Structure 1
Amino acid sequence: MRLGVLAVLALTLYRVVLLAFASADLFVDEAQYWAWGQNLEFGYYSKPPLIGWVIRAFTEVAGSDAPFWIRLPGPLFHGAAALVVLATARRLWGDVAGAATGIAYASMPGVALGALLISTDTILLPFFALALFFWLKLTERSSAGVALAMGAAVGLGMMAKYAAIYFVLGALFSVIFVRGARISWRDAALAALAFLVVFAPNILWNLQNGLTTVSHTADNVDWINDPSTRLRLNFSGLAEFFGGQFGVMGPVFFAAYLVVVARKIVTGDWPARWLIWMSLPIILLVCVQAILSRAYANWAAPAYVAAVILTAPWLFDRARRIYCAALGINLALSLALPLAAVFATSWTLNDRLVLGRYVGRAEASARILSTAREAGLTDVVATSRDLLADLFHAAKGTGIAPWSVPFEGHVPHYYAQRFPYPTGQSAPALYADFADVPPLCAPGTEVTELTRWDIPGGAYRGRTLVAWRVGPGCWTD
Structure 2
Amino acid sequence: MKPKISYSAAFWIASLAIALAKIIFLLRPEIDLFTEEAQYWLWSKNLAWHYYSKPPLVAYLNFLSTSVFGINEFAVRLIPIIFGMGTSWITFRFGSYLHGEKIGFWSAMILQAMPFWWMISTFHTTDTALTFFWTATFYLLFKALKENKKRFWVFAGITAAIGLMAKAAMLLVLPFLILYLIQEGKFGRRLKNLILFTLLLSLGFIPILVWNFQNDFITFKHLANLAGAGEGQSSAFSIGKSLESFGGYLEGQLAMVSVFLLPLIFGAIKQVFKFRSQEKFYLILPALLTFFGFGFLSLFKEALVNWPVFTYAGLAILSSAWVAEQTDFWRKMRNYGVAISLGLPLLILLPDITFFKSIPPIKKGEKQLFKRMSGYDPLAERVEFLQDSLQLDEVFIFSETYHMASELSFYLEAHPQTYMLNMGARKNQFDLWPGMEQFVGKDNTGIFVSWNYDSPGEFAEFDSLLYEEKFQVYFRGDSLRAAKIQVWKNLKEFNPYQPETY
Output the TM-score relative to the length of structure 2.
0.85
The aligned residue for residue 349 of structure 2 is: 338
The aligned residue for residue 303 of structure 1 is: 311
Deviation at 1:428, TM superposition (A): 3.0
Establish whether residue 48 from structure 1 lines up as the match of residue 55 from structure 2: yes
Q: Quick one: which of 96, 117, 122 aligns to 1:111?
A: 117
Residue identity in the other structure for 2:335: C
Deviation at 1:312, TM superposition (A): 2.1
CA separation of 1:348 and 1:202: change in aligned 2, threshold 3 A: farther
Deviates more, 1:124-133 or 1:94-103: 94-103
Name the SS for the 1:46 alignment partner. Answer: coil
Alignment of 1:358-397 (within 5 A): 358-375=373-390, 376-377=392-393, 378-395=395-412, 397=414
Establish whether residue 474 from structure 1 lines up as the match of residue 493 from structure 2: yes
The aligned residue for residue 153 of structure 2 is: 147
Deviation at 1:294, TM superposition (A): 0.9
Give the aligned length.
472
Q: Structure 1 regions of 5+ residues with no counterpart?
A: none
Name the SS for the 1:275 alignment partner. Answer: helix
CA deviations over 1:422-477 (Å, ceiling 9, x no partner): 3354123224233234532677x413151221536459944441313142323179
Deviation at 1:413, TM superposition (A): 2.2
CA separation of 1:180 and 1:314: change in aligned 2, threshold 3 A: farther
Deviation at 1:347, TM superposition (A): 5.6
For residues 421 and 351 of structure 2, the distance between their equivalents in structure 1, rounded to whole angstroms, comes to 35
Name the SS for the 1:207 alignment partner. Answer: helix
Deviation at 1:241, TM superposition (A): 1.7
Deviation at 1:73, TM superposition (A): 0.7
CA separation of 1:437 and 1:286: change in aligned 2, threshold 3 A: same
For residues 203 and 235 of structure 1, the distance between their equivalents in structure 2, rounded to whole angstroms, comes to 36
Q: Is the 8 A contact 2:459 2:494 kept in 1?
A: yes
Q: Is the 8 A contact 2:397 2:418 kept in 1?
A: yes
Q: Is the 8 A contact 1:22 1:342 kept in 2?
A: no
For residues 73 and 319 of structure 2, the distance between their equivalents in structure 1, rounded to whole angstroms, comes to 35
CA separation of 1:193 and 1:448: change in aligned 2, threshold 3 A: same
Alignment of 1:299-448 (within 5 A): 299-318=307-326, 319-339=330-350, 349-350=360-361, 352=364, 353=367, 354-375=369-390, 376-377=392-393, 378-395=395-412, 397=414, 401-405=417-421, 412-423=427-438, 424-432=440-448, 433=450, 434-440=452-458, 445-448=462-465
Alignment of 1:83-162 (within 5 A): 83-162=89-168
The aligned residue for residue 260 of structure 2 is: 252
Q: Structure 2 regions of 5+ residues with no counterpart?
A: 1-6, 497-502
Name the SS for the 1:302 alignment partner. Answer: helix
Q: Is the 8 A contact 1:48 1:213 kept in 2?
A: no
For residues 355 and 53 of structure 1, the distance between their equivalents in structure 2, rounded to whole angstroms, comes to 27
Name the SS for the 1:152 alignment partner. Answer: helix
CA separation of 1:169 and 1:133: change in aligned 2, threshold 3 A: same
Q: Is the 8 A contact 1:127 1:156 kept in 2?
A: yes
Q: Is the 8 A contact 1:380 1:403 kept in 2?
A: yes
CA separation of 1:226 and 1:430: change in aligned 2, threshold 3 A: closer
Deviates more, 1:388-397 or 1:219-228: 219-228
Name the SS for the 1:450 alignment partner. Answer: strand
Deviation at 1:365, TM superposition (A): 2.6
Deviation at 1:27, TM superposition (A): 1.4
Q: Quick one: which of 72, 76, 82 aligns to 1:70?
A: 76
CA separation of 1:359 and 1:230: change in aligned 2, threshold 3 A: same
Q: Quick one: which of 250, 260, 278 aligns to 1:270?
A: 278
Residue identity in the other structure for 1:331: L
Residue identity in the other structure for 2:458: L
For residues 227 and 297 of structure 2, the distance between their equivalents in structure 1, rounded to whole angstroms, comes to 7
For residues 245 and 33 of structure 2, the distance between their equivalents in structure 1, rounded to whole angstroms, comes to 28
CA separation of 1:414 and 1:283: change in aligned 2, threshold 3 A: same
CA separation of 1:46 and 1:396: change in aligned 2, threshold 3 A: farther
Residue identity in the other structure for 1:188: L
Residue identity in the other structure for 2:245: G
Q: Is the 8 A contact 2:445 2:488 kept in 1?
A: yes
What is the alpha-carbon root mean square deviation over aligned residues? Answer: 3.0
Alignment of 1:121-270 (within 5 A): 121-179=127-185, 184-223=190-229, 225=231, 229-232=235-238, 233-265=241-273, 267-270=275-278
Deviation at 1:166, TM superposition (A): 2.4
CA separation of 1:42 and 1:12: change in aligned 2, threshold 3 A: farther
For residues 316 and 15 of structure 1, the distance between their equivalents in structure 2, rounded to whole angstroms, comes to 29
Name the SS for the 2:347 alignment partner. Answer: helix
Alignment of 1:13-24 (within 5 A): 13-19=19-25, 21-23=27-29, 24=31
CA separation of 1:67 and 1:181: change in aligned 2, threshold 3 A: farther
Q: Is the 8 A contact 2:161 2:205 kept in 1?
A: yes
CA separation of 1:342 and 1:81: change in aligned 2, threshold 3 A: farther
Deviation at 1:407, TM superposition (A): 8.0
The aligned residue for residue 500 of structure 2 is: none
Deviation at 1:194, TM superposition (A): 0.7
Q: Is the 8 A contact 2:160 2:170 kept in 1?
A: yes
Name the SS for the 1:279 alignment partner. Answer: helix
CA separation of 1:41 and 1:460: change in aligned 2, threshold 3 A: farther
